Chain A
Amino acid sequence: MPIPSYRLAPVVAAMAAFVALATTSPLGQQPPPTPQQPSELELTISGEPGTPPKFAVPDFVALSGDAETQAAARAIGAVLWDDLQFEREFYMIPRDTYGSIPSAKSFQEVPFDRWLELGADGVIIGFVQRTGTGVTVQVRVFNVRTRTSVFAKEYSGAASNPRLYAHTVADEVHQQQRGLRGVARTKLTFSSDRDGERAAGGVPNRNVKEIYVADYDGANQRRVTVTKALNIFPVWSSDGRALAYTSYRRNNSPDIYISSIYQGTPPETPLKGRGQNWLSSWSPDGTRIAFTSNRDGNAELYVMNRDGSNVRRLTNHPSIDTTPTWSPGGNEIAFTSDRSGRPQIYLIPADGGVAPRRISNESWADRATWAPAPYNEIAYSALIGSTNNIRIYDVASGERRQITFGEGSNESPVFSPNGRHIAFMSTRRGRSHIFTIGRDGKNLRQITTSGNNYTPDWSR
């Protein structure tokens, strides 16, 4: 019997389908080549794939011979390196390896081959020249491989604080190269007993603490209150020009004071001493202040306008409600309450009216602060084991993570304005000092070295 030809067709079709399937390998699905884009002027410096770009910042070159200009030139280079290292966006080549590389004589004579030999992708060259009343600082960022300038700026001003030039350059380089808001020009404030101790002849006097401000890296520490009284819990206004704090200077009764630290005017007392008021917290837009008061008999949360008008009660519970902190949008307030027995963190709308929502479940939790956008997180200190540690609560997911692990007592966290760092007080090196740490728990830096220092706040 011959096989009729119509039986051949399905077999051939099946085999054709199989062969087609077998040859459809991943290699056969190559994407169409992307059309060539017209090349743009590339202004950002990149490293090898997967690694941060490597930067070198040699000492700036003084074009004038006087000692002040030369000291300023050295300081700017060192501080700039430190500022860039702080954000960890670049691999900063250690400065002690630059020794044999000759300094640039001008922007046209940069020894690029030597920087390339050291592995640098970018190098920041600057010149400092004395002018009539101050100095002029010229800065350029060079791409070492293409030998082109990707950033050029000139600053002029006083020579008294060369660190400010470095901070400004660092913030602008971070903004231009990484689109990142740097914190080099932000400031910290804290309370310290270092002067009270000195006045009492070396014996700590727990009733005298003054308010201090310092650069973010701990430089230029400066006292802003002179009261020989207890001044605690300083917080920055949103424009960074005023501090609100709790002071016991009048009748030993706590009240909220607002100091415009750059104007020399006497501090304002918006609440005029009615009741005992403490622990102020400035709203993100700077128009309102949340605080704790016992004016109605029990410690409750209140919100007022900056000038002390329109005082509104936010909580109403026989337990203690304290340490308010605003959400970045200004529509919610986190605070500490012991209404469930032990102090825990609660959230309440800034207009009140709703029962607070508990977000912590620790044996003891206090001093919450809200991270700025885009991080929707709340940091607080929690009793874990035998010591206080910093925990971060993710508001959206409800997850908690810990960034300090039992080294001393770590309390009172606050976020940097870009949310990437946290300042806190810790006893890990003996006395109570202010530290900063990355939000991943790395990159610890000690800010204060003398006295006992408490409750930092980071300017916006």
Chain B
Amino acid sequence: MPKVSPGAGATSGRRGRGRRVASSLAEINVVPLVDVMLVLLIIFMVAAPMMQHGLDVNLPVSRRAPELSESRLYVTVPESFARERVVRLNDDRVRLDALGERVRQALLNQTEKQVFLAGDGAVTLQQLLEVMDRLKDAGVERVGIVARTPGPTGR
């Protein structure tokens, strides 16, 4: 780091006046500014390659491009199932008759043929198996039964 002597240049022009005046610095001291900026520059230069997320490609366009979705499919059997024979497929109300076809459509582009089955505690095993029959007909390979872990009271 070069030593900057502010008085040297300023005083030389006033030699012979007999008075030494402590004048203020007329220029901004840019040296520390440049130092800091160069360090920042190096930091950004090192960091910039790491900010790339992937290769930039133009994806081909296809009318029939399958949308490979990994979304989970939930079938909920409510307590009213015994009366209404209606379940919920994700958020849609679906009659039991239409469930098999809807699940088949939903699984068309899925590689994992699995469905999560959530039933009300009051639903009988018979009713749950009726729903599972429809799911098996629709080609579901794995049915997961959704349960919750017991709370502190054991319920």
Contacts and interface: CB of A to CB of B under 8 A. Distances in A.
B92 A3 contact: no
A97 B94 contact: no
Interface stretch (B14-22, B60-68, B120-128): B60-68
Contacts of A353: none
B17 to A, nearest CB: 22
Contacts of A48: 67
A202 interface: no
Interface in B98-131: 98, 100-102, 105, 108-109
A267 interface: no
Nearest to A117: B98
Interface residues on chain B, size class = 20 to 34
13 contacts: A1-B2, A2-B9, A11-B34, A15-B41, A22-B48, A26-B56, A50-B66, A52-B64, A100-B98, A117-B93, A118-B98, A119-B98, A119-B102
A5 B108 contact: no
Q: Which 7 residue pairs across A and B have the least CB separation, nearest first?
A: A50-B67, A97-B101, A100-B97, A118-B98, A119-B105, A119-B102, A117-B98
Given A15-B37, A18-B41, A5 B27 contact: yes
A22 B44 contact: yes
Contacts of A91: 105, 108
B47 to A, nearest CB: 9
Contacts of B4: 1-2
Interface residues of A, number: 26
B31 interface: yes
Interface of B: 2, 4, 6, 9, 27, 30-31, 34, 37, 41, 44, 48, 56, 64-67, 92-95, 97-98, 100-102, 105, 108-109
Contacts of B6: 2
B48 to A, nearest CB: 7
Interface string A94-126: 100101100000000000001001110000000
A391 interface: no
Given A97-B97, A97-B101, A50 B37 contact: no
A3 B100 contact: no
A112 B143 CA distance: 30
B97 A99 contact: yes
A383 interface: no
Interface string A40-56: 00000000111110100
Given A22-B48, A117-B94, A51 B31 contact: no
